[in-house]
Amino acid sequence: MENQSFNNIWKIPAFALIAGILFSCVNDLDAIQRVSSDPNAPSEVTRNLEVFYNDSGYARVRIFATLAETYRVPKHITKIKDGLRVEFFSETGEVVSQLTALYGEVNYETGLFVARDSVILRNFETKQQLETEELFWNQKDSTIYTEKNVVIKKDGKGVTGRGKGLKTTQSFDHYVIQNPVGKMELE
């Protein structure tokens, strides 16, 4: 009798332990979704990004980014943080101009690339340099423009142009300042 009551004493805790294990392993899928899914998080994160855009087998544009975050919702955009460099190539495959900034954003729906914060656009052949705080590059027609204040320097020295608003091509071989101000040196 004593042996049978000893077995019954062990059956109750063993049954309770097994029941507890089985019923405690139920996952609340809504709770898991809330923990594992952040609607404001990027879909993709890339460090040290290098992207080439080609046309007919020839390099036309190369983009370097320290950190790129791609979002698909609510708009398909890529935010480039901590510095970027965009190189524009000539028909012969040489880098003719370069755009640098601390921040950039690519909107895939509109085809616009915006560069902000310490923006510099250089043409290596003419040795011209454009400085501004915001610049838009329309990838569809290769134009670059801004409504912000601009300063244009030659050989990294003297100011050859200053104003508000500018339109140019991605090669930065010629430009139009919308509202020029101050003295300007003309050749």
Token look-up 């104003």 returns 163
The fold of 40-180 is lipopolysaccharide transport protein A fold (2.60.450)
For the four alpha carbons of 159, 165, 170 and 173, in that order, the dihedral sign comes to negative
Summarised one tens digit per residue, pLDDT across range 21-68 is 656 555 666 665 555 567 778 889 999 999 888 777 777 899 999 999
Query: Distance from CA of residue 145 to its chain's centroid?
Result: 19
Q: How confident is the model at residue 119 (pLDDT cuts 50, 70, 90)?
A: very high
Pairwise CA distance, residues 108 & 17, whole Å: 56
Token pair listed for 106? 């690519």
Which of 118, 64, 124, 119 lies closest to 89 in space, CA to CA?
A: 124
* Domain residue limits, the chain: 2-34, 40-180
- For position 120, what pLDDT does the model report? 96
3-state secondary structure of 21: helix
Which of 102, 88, 95, 105 lies closest to 131 in space, CA to CA?
A: 102
The DSSP element (H or E) to which 128 belongs, if any, is strand 128-138
Q: How confident is the model at residue 93 (pLDDT cuts 50, 70, 90)?
A: confident
